[in-house]
């Protein structure tokens, strides 16, 4: 096989190139990697509903203190 060998200086210079600073125009959509999986979206909605219902309950002290 063919090996591509790059020195450290070249790689560090590539970090500052304009192409490295812009996101790709059309990344592939991979559920669970680049976008949330459908099951994850359902779980997120359920968690939001739970949090909203818990916020409706007034806050209570975790421990009661006798003074």
Report pLDDT for 8: 94
What is the pLDDT averaged over residues 38-57? Answer: 71
**Nearest Cα to 30, choosing from 21, 40, 20?**
40
Report pLDDT for 64: 72
**Half-sphere exposure in the Cβ direction for 67 (13 Å, CA):** 0
Region label for 59, one of left (φ > 0), alpha (ψ between -120 and 50) or beta (otherwise): beta
Convert the pLDDT of each residue in 2-25 to its tens digit.
898 999 999 999 988 888 888 778
Has residue 59 got a pLDDT over 60?
A: no
In whole angstroms, what separates CA 53 from the centre of its chain?
Answer: 25
In angstroms, the CA 57 to CA 63 distance is 17
């Amino acid at each position: 096989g063919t090996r591509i060998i790059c020195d450290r200086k070249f790689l560090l210079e590539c970090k500052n190139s304009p192409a490295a600073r812009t996101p790709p125009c059309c990344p592939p959509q991979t559920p669970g990697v680049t976008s949330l999986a459908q099951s994850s979206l359902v779980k997120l909605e359920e968690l939001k509903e739970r949090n909203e219902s818990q916020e409706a309950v007034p806050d209570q002290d975790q421990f009661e203190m006798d003074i």
